[in-house]
């Protein structure tokens, strides 16, 4: 069974892959408003003070700004039964 958490996010960047010089191909996004999403926990790759790094389709990853504190996101994960060391 998939586990989800709710968060208010907006896309900051999409990493589409790498070019011939092994440099990331990054698309910056200027989303002005946050959107409520249910996020499948398995998609979350990393969480920082500024971003959720999540997997996307076709091998892409996305950096999302979130509208909560890191502690609030951490608590939502704990409430969902995710072990945080």
Total structural domains in the chain? 1
In a domain, 85, yes or no: no
In a domain, 27, yes or no: yes
Mean per-residue pLDDT, 51-64: 96
In a domain, 33, yes or no: yes
Mean per-residue pLDDT, 20-43: 96
Instruction: Report pTM.
Output: 0.89
pLDDT at 85 over 90: no
Counting residues of the chain whose pLDDT is more than 90, the rounded percentage is 94
The DSSP annotation for the chain comes to ---EEEEEEEEEEEEEEE-TTS-EEEEE----S-EEEEEEGGGEEEE-SSEEEEE-GGG-EEEEEESS-HHHHHHHHHHTT----
């Amino acid at each position: 069974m998939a586990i989800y958490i709710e968060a208010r996010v907006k896309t900051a960047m999409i990493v589409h892959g790498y070019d011939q010089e092994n440099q990331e191909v990054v698309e910056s996004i200027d989303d002005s408003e946050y959107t409520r999403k249910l996020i499948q926990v398995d998609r979350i790759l990393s969480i920082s003070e500024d971003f959720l790094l999540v997997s996307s389709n076709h091998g892409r990853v996305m950096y999302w700004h979130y509208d909560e504190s890191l502690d609030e996101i951490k608590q939502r994960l704990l409430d969902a039964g995710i072990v945080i060391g």
